[in-house]
Amino acid sequence: MKDIAVIVLAAGLGTRMKSKAVKVLHPLAGRPMLLHTLANVMALKPEKVVAVLGHQSKDVAKVLPDGVMTALQKEQLGTAHAAMTGLKKLTGFTGTVVVVAGDTPLLGTDTFRMLLERHRLARAEVSLLTARLTDPTGYGRIIRDEAGVSRIVEHKDANDFERAIDEVNAGTYCFEAGALKAALKRVKSDNVQEEFYLTDVVEITRARGGRVLGVETDRPEEALGINSRADLAKAEKTVRGWINRKLMDAGVTMTDPDTTYIGPDVVIGRDTIIQPGNHISGDTVIGEGCMLLPGNIISGSVIKDGVTIKGYSVLTDAVVETGAAVGPFAHIRPGSSIGQDARVGNFVELKKTSLGDGAKASHLSYLGDAEIGRDVNVGAGTITCNYDGYGKFKTVIEDCVFVGSDTQFVAPVRVGRGAVIAAGSTVTQDVPEDALAISRTAQTNKPGWAGRRRAIKEKKGKK
Ligand code: UD1
Ligand code: CA
């Protein structure tokens, strides 16, 4: 939108968070809360965006998207002082200045756009977003008269009558640049908190005969300001609800959305069923018709159609091809891929390992730095010994190999196509195609030995 500049107020520490980290960097749905606000205002395509930083400004500056200017508010003297600090970066700008708090990450682009449109339509000098809340505690209250909003009174400064008002200031405003600049110069700090309140601009503008428009949102849940960890948890729950609702509307089944945690960038196909306690994050893409049993933690992974994840499995930066089954209790670590219709069973760990189509590793194995072909059977308890204390080495197992249980592959080693490894072998040399590799001490049976031993022991016991 033309003639629009945005100032985001993000200089405060957020004392009520009781944190070493500055409030706006606390993550919401996996990303710093400030980035939600920035993404939502930047979607309006403003001419300029200024972030007012103060506490830990270097850390905050690092996460800012391209195109955001910064203004340093060295001392946090209040929201009016912060707005003034931001405004100094907008010299020569004569359009509409949108001021947003950095701690209201749920306010969406549509809401900002609605406020702007109403502001322009009414040709107001100041417009502010309001919300009716069942519990308005802590927020600034909106005092209205026939001409619009006459004043905002902060909770701490309000009397009982004012505190009973349920219409609150959402902390988002549209100002005509000139009017804002003039009014900010007149803000005083004669209030309970001894701060320069941006909200005083309302009264100052009205005293001059200016028009102040209060626009009530029909999405009051978006107005949540995050001041404490409890607020953050509430925001997290709201965002989770939105994400899950959108996925369900698009054809995903969730047996218990309240305990299903899905990141904002995750994509999930239709007819996939997600049971309780799944955590899916990052840029994970899940196909259609998958079944996720309870308790999986999946991040940065690609899961194709018709895959079953059997519960309590952890998959990180992995690829699972169509029709495969993983888990329960599998650990699929970065750089691993599981082929079409392959099976990875309980207590199997894969790291930087590719398992071919139709291959099976059903029980109790560690497969690291391995390339395993199609239709290979990896017996229970197989271990690739990929590390010698200094470097990592690769195991290659070609197609259709049968690996007996309790085998160790001492890497680097290669097993040729169709070979069989006898159970209990330690494989230290390459195995040719179609060969049998067996490396274990030949068994000797001593007839009657156990019986004789038992007789001796029992005789001793009687004494
Ligand atoms: C503010 C509003 C209140 C509104 C509420 C909505 C004022 C005086 N009050 O109260 O009417 O209902 O937001 O959530 O504006 N900040 C700075 N520099 C400062 C002070 C604050 O950058 O000197 C930033 C903070 O980092 C924060 C934002 O401004 O992101 C809001 O400040 P905060 O102290 O949280 O204001 P509230 O008391 O919530
Ligand atoms: Ca706040």
What is residue 446's three-state secondary structure? coil
- 305 & 257 share domain: yes
pLDDT in tens, 159-205: 999 999 999 999 999 999 999 999 999 999 999 999 999 999 999 99
148, pLDDT greater than 80: yes
User: Domain for residue 130, yes or no?
Assistant: yes
CATH code (residue 262): 2.160.10.10
- 200 & 328 share domain: no
pLDDT in tens, 393-430: 999 999 999 999 999 999 999 999 999 999 999 999 99
Question: How far apart (Å, rounded) are the C-alpha atoms in residues 74 and 78?
Answer: 11
- 201 & 327 share domain: no
Q: What is the mean pLDDT of residues 26-46?
A: 97
- 263 & 381 share domain: yes
CB proximity list for 20: less than 8 A, separation 6 or greater: none
Residue 102: domain span = 4-223
pLDDT in tens, 419-463: 999 999 999 999 999 999 999 999 999 999 999 999 999 999 876
Q: What is the mean pLDDT of residues 359-374?
A: 98
Other residues' Cβ atoms within 10 Å of the Cβ of residue 445: 6
- 186 & 311 share domain: no
End-to-end CA distance of the chain: 100
- 83 & 125 share domain: yes
Share of the chain above pLDDT 90, in %: 99
pLDDT recorded at residue 463: 63
CATH code (residue 160): 3.90.550.10
- 258 & 204 share domain: no
Q: Say whether 36 is catalytic.
A: no
Of the residues 26, 119, 155, 363, which is catalytic?
363
Two tokens, residue 401: 């190999």
- Among the listed residues 51, 75, 52, the one whose alpha carbon sits nearest the alpha carbon of residue 65: 51
Question: How far apart (Å, rounded) are the C-alpha atoms in residues 186 and 268?
Answer: 53
- 180 & 40 share domain: yes
- 110 & 179 share domain: yes
pTM as predicted: 0.92
The angle formed by the CA atoms of residues 331, 336 and 338, to the nearest 5 degrees, is 85
Total number of domains in the chain: 2
Give me the sign of the Cα torsion angle 249, 250, 256, 258: negative
Other residues' Cβ atoms within 10 Å of the Cβ of residue 428: 13
151, pLDDT greater than 90: yes
Q: Which atom of ligand 1 is nearest to the CA of 13?
A: 26
Question: Please, which residues bridge with residue 402 across strands?
Answer: 377, 420
Is the link from the previous residue into 328 a cis peptide, with omega within 30 of 0? yes
Share of the chain above pLDDT 70, in %: 100
User: Domain for residue 69, yes or no?
Assistant: yes
Question: How far apart (Å, rounded) are the C-alpha atoms in residues 66 and 290?
Answer: 37
- 198 & 284 share domain: no
Q: At what angle do helices 177-184 and 79-87 cross, to 10 degrees?
A: 130
Question: How far apart (Å, rounded) are the C-alpha atoms in residues 38 and 51?
Answer: 9
Q: What is the mean pLDDT of residues 263-273?
A: 97
Residue located nearest, by CA, to atom 29 of ligand 1: 9
124, pLDDT greater than 80: yes
104 touches ligand 1 (CB under 6 Å): yes
Cα of 157 vs centre of ligand 1, distance in Å, is 14
Place of tokens 């682009």: 109
- 390 & 432 share domain: yes
Q: What's the burial of 196, exposed, middle or buried (CB within 10 Å: 0-12/13-18/19+)?
A: buried
94, pLDDT greater than 70: yes
Among 7, 53, 79, residue to substitute to test ligand 1 (most atoms within 8 Å of Cβ)? 79
pLDDT recorded at residue 462: 72
Q: What is the mean pLDDT of residues 208-235?
A: 97
- Identify whether the C-beta of residue 315 lies closer than 8 Å to the C-beta of residue 296: yes
User: Domain for residue 240, yes or no?
Assistant: no
> Average pLDDT over the chain, rounded to whole?
97
Question: How far apart (Å, rounded) are the C-alpha atoms in residues 195 and 267?
Answer: 45
